[in-house]
Amino acid sequence: MSAAARAVDVWKVYGSGEAQVIALRGVNLEVERGKFTAIMGPSGSGKSTLMHCLAGLDSVTRGEVAVGDTRVTGLSDAGLTRLRREKVGFIFQQFNLLPTLTAEENITLPLAISGRKPDKAWYDTVIQTVGLGDRLGHRPSQLSGGQQQRVACARALVSRPEVIFADEPTGNLDSRSGADILGFLRRSVSEFGQTIVMVTHDANAASYADRVIFLADGRIVDEIENPTAEAVLDKIKSLDTLAVSEDRVEVAE
Amino acid sequence: MIKASLRGLLQRKLRLALAVIAIVLSVGFLSGSIVLGDTLNARFAGLFSTINENVAVQVTAKDPDAAEPARLSQADLDRLSRVDGVAQASGDVSAEGVIPFRTDTGKAVTAQVGLAAGVDSRGDTLGLVELREGAWPARADEVVLSANTAKLAKAQRGTQLKVFVPQLGEARTYTVSGIAGFAGGRDSLAGETLVMFELKHAQELFYGTTGVYASASFGAASGVSQDELKKRIERELPSGFKAQTGKEATEEASNALGDSFGIFTIILSAFAGVAAFVGIFLIYNTFNIIVAQRSRELALLRAMGASWGQVIRAVLLEALVVGGFGATLGLGFGIAVGVGAEALLSNMLGVDLPSGGVVVSMWAVLWSYVVGLIVTMIAAFIPAVKASMVPPIAAMRETVRPDKSLLGLSITGGAFLVPGAGLVALALTGIGSATTLVLAGGVVLVFLGVALLSPLLAKPVVRLLGWLLGRGQAGKLGVRNALRNPRRTAVTAAALMIGVTLITTAATVAQSFKSSIEDIVGQNTGVDIMILGPNTGPPNGEIGFNPAALDEVKKLPGVTDTAAWHITIEAAIAGTPAFISAADVPTAKRMWQMQEVGGQLRTLGAQEMVVDDNMAEASRWKAGDQVTVGIGQTSKKYTIVGIYKRTPTLQGPILGLPAVDDFAGKLAYQGFVSLDDGADVAGTVAKVEDIMSDYPGVTVGDMSSFARQQSQAFDVLVNAITILLGVALLIALLGIINTLLLSIVERTRELGLVRAVGLSRGGVVRMVGVESVLISVFGCLLGVTLGVGLGAAFVKALIDLDFMSKFALPWANLAVYVGAALVFGVVAALWPARRAAKLNVLEAIAYE
């Protein structure tokens, strides 16, 4: 079985000359289908850049990216649009929803945009899993941060994408709401076989994943299978002792 | 604080750019019309100083408009020319309305002014007119033409030329004995025609006797100043005359002309005012949106100790800078527009004015800044106050702007609308000279009222329109966006509403006029053919046709009745300016089926009149009352002998034919012809046309062609109004673009999000396009509704006054307006939608 997403010798360079910043230095990664993969690393390690490149939100300078059997590198805007409709789901750190739409309309937005009908049974399952039954008619401004993020998760799931990319999904939430979201993501991998790639800097969040990839200075430096929070924390501590190079980069924080 | 706000201004210069353009356009329109008026004035002043170049002193009648104006005799002229210091003397014999016919087509030459003068064998001793070829007229049947006249009439030396002379009431044929030009090699002074007759013949034609002059001009011997010569001539002046220096005469003439350009400038300025009013909406929206987007920054300033007064001042300072900048550019733009318009106008009118620089008066500069600054300050005031009310705590938290209730706004709207409608109603019932101001004030209040109420209307109307237009998910998102901030949508739409309202009002009134006319034509009044006087000037008896020509018409087969209608607007009834007719009442009664309401509709003698019932009622007149009637300079008591029922075609005071003696001339302005049933209408029209061919500008037509002609005139009027409102519409278009652009900046992250979940670039374009079209169509519908309402109010008032008989909706126009609004919306969306679609998805999502 092929990987759900793949990066082959991916380089990402911003700017040129003196101002040149190298965000990714030859990253190779295979995201396993039906698994929950976490990407960790200190600020400027390139973790967000890697995710954006994998998702086709950002272009790579060298190397190749694919989602499923679709080669992302070199796709036109129309091709990228099709990719987002059919293969990819997103959950962002904050501001995930359209304020003009109700929770339900936000959830079905990707389907409506691509002109598809939601699969009734699957839709009900998703709604039930995220536990929003009585809030579906509400506008985002009437929902708490945790509820909003659950709507965002449901939206990502409902179109059953090849991969869901989650960028610090619990970054803006209190620990309880965060735990709810992480539990929900975990279940959608375990019970429904969804593939998820999550960027986080929180060791506890990473412990929900099947596999944790550690990035530093634009390179994959380590990984852990079936992590615990303690194991992740230990790993981070050992990485902290490594020198962090000067060319750090801030992306999408 | 000041530094902070100015720096903020520079950072947002792109967002303010459209506000600046709006100011530039409205100020440019205003200063352009002032510059145009001033420049034309200066051009004509230049023309008059050319005319009076060699004139040191001019002697004219104190009261040239009197029924029997004083004339200079030959003896007076001779005596004055012997005054010490007079080098040349020239007696002036002249007339207007003398029109040559073209030798090729036989049609009257159409020029702005048809001048005539009398000259003797010495020609023009003051050197303005120079003979180019041939000889000055020596006999009564000879004329000399200015080169321009010869060109227009296709005449040359030796040509037999037909010339219409209003004093004769007919055309005569003359031999062209020579061609003349003006000093400096000009063919005309300002595009006019000039026919010069032999002096004695001219005196007889214009004044009824030889040896008299209307005025005289004198050249000074070297060393004698104009003032000195004036003093010396004044000692010898016959009674009833005054002396002016050449300089004074030039000033007087150009001031008189300046007044007529003044009206022109006022009309253009009114339209510029509408444009500025629309600009207020755009600028208000710009500042409002910018303040909303900056609320965190403003809160931070407040948290750091800025007082609310400082915040207000900071925002108003921005407005001041924007307004001043816009006004400066607008003034420059206006000067360019004024220059262009002057060239265009001179070209169109065929007026060959003396060239000279463009005139930018202090008024143009002053008004540019007053309007530019005031408009911006008014527009920025409410946003400034709003900015000051941002609490410091807003700096710390995500700003949540809940939907505010529209109740207060709507009540305020009602508070504007009701008195506004009241003022319009008051103005339409007529309250005297203040009517126009009251009307304008009322309409402005109605606009503000509806603008304030429109957010309330925006939701249901946009929802309905959205249901019709917002297909697909992208369309649906566009509808939601248009609905999310009803105030913003409404204010943007209201700017468009204003222009559309005014156009619709004009179209509605015009359509009602048109269908009223069709109604009248449809009714068989007994009049089958109408003869209409020329529209080259106001009717006063000097233009039109000789009523004797109707005797010939009456002899045509099938003609049963004819009536001549003399009209003058140089008249007053009981001191109020009035439009007065003179006609044979029994004939009119027969042909127009006049209904007697009081007194008797019989043949009127001298100083007898009939009036319509509305007039009688308004002035509380009854048969037998005496009323003062002024015609020209005469003033006489007239007895009302009858009162008739007013109709849209027949109204106002009608005097008896003897009154025509007091008119400026004896020409009839209109004529009516009745035919037998079954008579050949088209054939008779052609024959009447033939009889009338000697009278320049007189047209003949059956009732349906008359109706068609009137309809066309109304169409032209509505088109002219639409074009003049073009700037206001353009600003409204900018307003939509502006709102969309600012909204797109505000919703950058949302745009990133919808792209991330799969909306294509085309989808984003559709989304913005639908929002734009909804705003535009909503504004158009508001305008059409309000315009039809205002139009109906006007029409009702006009029906009450019997100026028209029915109300009609201009359906075709309304459909065109709504269609145009759709296109307008699409055009407005082009640029913003492109920008929205080109956003980088990742950057948009990360946008702070």
A110–B842 C-beta distance less than 8 A? no
CB of B507 closer than 8 Å to CB of B818: no
State yes or no: pLDDT of A15 exceeds 90: no
Q: Choose among B400, B474, B842: nearest Cβ to A252.
A: B842
Name the average pLDDT for chain B.
86
Residues of B in contact with A81 (CB under 8 A): 755, 758-761
Check which CATH number belongs to the domain holding A105 and give it: 3.40.50.300
Give, for B303, the enclosing helix (H) or strand (E).
Answer: helix B295-303
Q: Is the pLDDT of residue B581 over 90?
A: yes
**Contact B402/A58, CB-based, under 8 Å?**
no
Q: How many CA atoms lie within 13 A of B516 on its CB side?
A: 20
Check B473 against A58: CB less than 8 A apart.
no
**pLDDT number for residue A246:** 41
From A58, A77, A112, residue closest to B842, measured CB to CB: A58
Strands (E), chain A: 5-14, 21-31, 36-40, 62-67, 70-71, 88-91, 163-167, 196-199, 211-216, 219-225
Block residue for tokens 């990228």: A80
Of B555, B614, B554, B616, residue with least CA distance to B584:
B554
Burial-class residue B535 by CB neighbours within 10 Å (0-12, 13-18, 19+): exposed
pLDDT band at B140 (very low <50, low <70, confident <90, very high): very high
Tell me whether residue A9 is in a domain: no
Q: Residues of A at the B interface (Cβ-Cβ below 8 Å)?
A: 52, 57-58, 77-78, 81, 84-85, 89-90, 92, 95-101, 109-110, 112-115, 141, 155, 251-252
Q: Which residues pair with B699 in a beta bridge?
A: B532
Set of chain B residues whose Cβ sits within 8 Å of the Cβ of A96: 753
* Chain A contact for B270 (CB, 8 A cutoff): no
pLDDT at A247 over 50: no
* Both structure tokens of B7: 């720096």
In a domain? residue A205: yes
Give me the residues paired with residue B116 across strands: B95, B195
pLDDT digits (tens, 9 = 90+) for B378-420: 888 888 888 888 777 766 555 445 556 778 888 888 888 888 8
Residue whose entry in the numeric block shows the structure tokens 């980088």: B840
Within A14-95, residue ranges assigned H as helices are: 47-54, 77-86
A95 and B842 within 8 Å at the Cβ level: the answer is no
- Asked whether residue A2 is assigned to any structural domain, the reply reads no
pLDDT digits 0-9 by tens, A146-194:
899 999 999 999 988 999 999 989 888 888 889 989 999 999 999 999 9
Mean pLDDT of B415-437: 78
The pLDDT of residue B848 is 59
Contact residues, chain B, for A84 at CB < 8 Å? 755-758
Give A229-236's long-range contacts (Cβ < 8 A, gap of 24+).
A229/A203, A229/A204, A231/A207, A232/A40, A232/A203, A232/A206, A232/A207, A233/A203, A236/A40, A236/A203
Instruction: For chain B, give the percent of residues with pLDDT over 90.
Output: 35
For residues A57 and A47, give the distance between their C-alpha atoms in angstroms, rounded to a whole number.
14
Helix or strand or coil: residue B186? strand
Residue of B nearest to A113 (CA): B473
B761 vs A77: CB contact, 8 Å cut-off? Answer: yes
Residue of A nearest to B764 (CA): A113
Mean pLDDT of B811-832: 94
Residue B369 exposed, middle or buried by CB count within 10 Å (0-12, 13-18, 19+): middle
What tokens does B400 get?
A: 């949540």
Say whether B756 and A57 touch across the interface (CB within 8 A).
Answer: yes
The tens digit of pLDDT for each residue in A198-216 reads 999 889 999 999 999 999 8
pLDDT band (50, 70, 90) for residue B355: low
Contacts of B772 (CB under 8 A, 6+ apart): B736, B740, B825, B826, B828, B829, B832, B833
| B609 pLDDT tier (thresholds 50, 70, 90) | very high
* B residues 438-477 lying closer than 8 A (beta carbon) to A: 472-474, 476-477
The residue among B217, B212, B203 whose CA lies nearest residue B253 is B217
CB contact under 8 A, A114 and B750: no
Residue A52 lies in a domain: yes
- Determine the residue of chain B that is closest to A116 in CA distance: B473
Q: Do A84 and B758 touch (CB under 8 A)?
A: yes
**In this model, does residue B642 exceed pLDDT 90?**
yes
Give pLDDT, residue A243. 45
| Domain span including residue A103 | 33-60+74-240
CA distance A14 to chain B (A): 14
Which residue in chain A is spatially nearest to B839 when comparing CA positions?
A77
Sorting pLDDT into bands at 50, 70 and 90, what band is B328? very high
Residues 6+ apart with CB under 8 A from A2: A33, A68, A69
Tell me the residue type at B618. Answer: A
Predicted local distance difference test score (pLDDT) of residue B121: 86
User: Which tokens go with B27?
Assistant: 């100020």
CB-CB under 8 Å, A155 with B750 = no
Asked if the structure places residue A188 within a domain, the reply is yes
| Strand-pair category, B608-612 with B654-655 | antiparallel
Chain B hits for A98, Cβ within 8 Å: 477, 480, 750, 753-754
Q: Is B834 on the interface with A (CB under 8 A)?
A: no
- Chain B residues whose beta carbon lies within 8 Å of the beta carbon of residue A101: 477, 480
Average of per-residue pLDDT values in chain A: 86
Is B91 within 8 Å of B55 (Cβ atoms)? no
| Per-residue pLDDT band at A251 (split at 50, 70, 90) | very low
Kindly report which listed range (A211-225, B1-15, B414-428) carries the lowest average pLDDT score: B1-15
Q: By C-alpha distance, which of B427, B437, B425, B426 is closest to B793?
A: B425
In a domain, A152, yes or no: yes
Q: Phi first, then psi: what are they for B708, rounded to 5°?
A: -60, -45
Q: Does B841 reach chain A within 8 Å, measured CB to CB? A: yes
Burial class (CB in 10 A: 0-12, 13-18, 19+), B357: exposed
Distances (CA, A) of A201 to A37, A187, A198, A207, A237: 13, 21, 10, 11, 13
Instruction: Say yes or no to pLDDT of A249 above 50.
Output: no
Q: Identify which of A77, A90, A101 has the shortest CB distance to residue B756.
A: A90
Is the pLDDT reported for residue B177 higher than 90?
Answer: yes
Q: Are B595 and B650 in contact (CB under 8 A)?
A: no
Task: Count structural domains, chain A.
Answer: 1
Q: ipTM, 2 decimals?
A: 0.82
The Cα B666–Cα B582 span in angstroms is: 11
Instruction: Inform me whether the pLDDT recorded for A75 exceeds 50.
Output: yes
Query: How far is Cα A25 from Cα A12, in angstroms, rounded to an integer?
Result: 7
Buried b (16+ CB within 10 A) or exposed e, B509-532: bbbbbbbbbbebbeeebebbbbbb
Provide mean pLDDT across the span B255-283. Answer: 83
At a CB cut-off of 8 Å and minimum separation 6, what does B263 contact?
none
Q: CA of B755 to nearest chain A CA: how many angstroms apart?
A: 7
User: Could you give the CA distance from residue B291 to residue B295 in angstroms, rounded to a whole number?
Assistant: 6
Amino acid at B28: G
Contact: A77, B753; criterion CB under 8 Å: no
Give the neighbor-by-neighbor strand order of the sheet with A211-216: A88-91, A163-167, A196-199, A36-40, A211-216, A219-225
Q: Which of B842, B843, B847, B848 to probe the A interface (max A CBs under 10 A)?
A: B842
Residue B701 near residue B579 (C-beta atoms within 8 A): no
* Residue B5 banded pLDDT, cuts 50, 70, 90: low
Of A49-53, B334-338, B646-650, B669-673, give the lowest mean pLDDT range: B646-650
A63: left (phi over 0), alpha (psi -120 to 50) or beta: left
What separation, in Å, do the N-terminal and C-terminal C-alpha atoms of chain A show?
34
Look at residues B39, B9, B692, B805 and name the one whose alpha carbon lies nearest to residue B351: B39
The answer to the question of residue A26 being in a domain is no
Mean pLDDT of B167-188: 88
| Residue A246 falls inside a structural domain | no
Q: What pLDDT does residue B11 have?
A: 64
A63 Cβ neighbours under 8 A, 6+ residues apart = A7, A8, A9, A10, A11, A26, A27, A73
Q: Which of B139, B127, B126, B142 is nearest to B179 (CA)?
A: B142
